[in-house]
Structure 1
């Protein structure tokens, strides 16, 4: 059984930048430790990726805070994390979930049995979106989320997202 780790949006803007929180800062060490438990080729990551026109997008109109603008410092993965992930295993995504990542997991699952664990930010937006998207692509694959290596927009929203994930048969660690 191949065990895969997916690191969701551990980018500077979500940690200590324009949308950062103390909870997000607090999980960085746990996420780096978790990454080191996996073979490097089994670690994948997503990067929230927006253009300069972000505020004109539907998301930007609902969340009018510029963040993760491509090629800015805020867009980059946290330096402790970026050095642990192969660049070819990083998926840029313009929205909450990455169809390209889900397709990659589907491709791998056709060759071998896999389990998938997710960690990262934000539990209630991109973690839940990617976990459920992958679950839709791979309903028979065991998917889990390490709640100690995730943080939500608020503690309450983090906990609500974990309940939603449980309801959708994603294991919460």
Structure 2
């Protein structure tokens, strides 16, 4: 069984208060298409979305980054066409709040995947070398098989992005592929 985890593809992370910018804008259509393909193939789809409280002095990211993905703000909404996919496929997609880089940290993600017999996960979203990387590392340590769609992840800097893609392959044994090399409508899931 397979699942897709869409990580932090929100307005704040694409063009908002902590923007990846153009690299994230460029993957919008690929992210939406992959998400639709997983829904069409009746696979588990999870939106793992960063959640912060305004002026939280105890969260470790408060000292590292400007405020972002604050509860009940426009910046926390999904970006671009992904928002429309979520609206159209709401019954098929699970929204999951996360408060740390990894989608596994402090959430019921592992339990949800295990109770559904899911052994393989695919990761897309931002940032390649932060939240996608930490989620992949936890997935590896928990024994999941990992696929990363390299044309559906982006980061603040190209060096970090490239390093993370190499790390997925060489240290986590992940399959790193391009969605554009597959037929997205019938994505080989």
Give the TM-score of the pair, scaled to structure 2: 0.80
Closer/same/farther in 2, CA of residues 79 and 24 from structure 1, 3 Å limit: closer
Closer/same/farther in 2, CA of residues 54 and 156 from structure 1, 3 Å limit: farther
For 2:3 and 2:99, the matched residues in 1 are separated by: 23
1:56, distance to aligned residue in structure 2 (A): 5.3
Residue pairs, 1:1-173, within 5 angstroms:
2-20=1-19, 21-39=21-39, 42-54=44-56, 57-63=59-65, 65-85=66-86, 86=90, 89-99=94-104, 100=107, 101-109=109-117, 114-137=119-142, 139=143, 141-166=144-169, 167-173=171-177
Higher share in helix:
1
Structure 1: which 5+ residue stretches go unaligned? none
Aligned residues: 166
Structure 2: which 5+ residue stretches go unaligned? 178-189
Give the TM-score of the pair, scaled to structure 1: 0.87
Q: CA RMSD in A?
A: 1.9
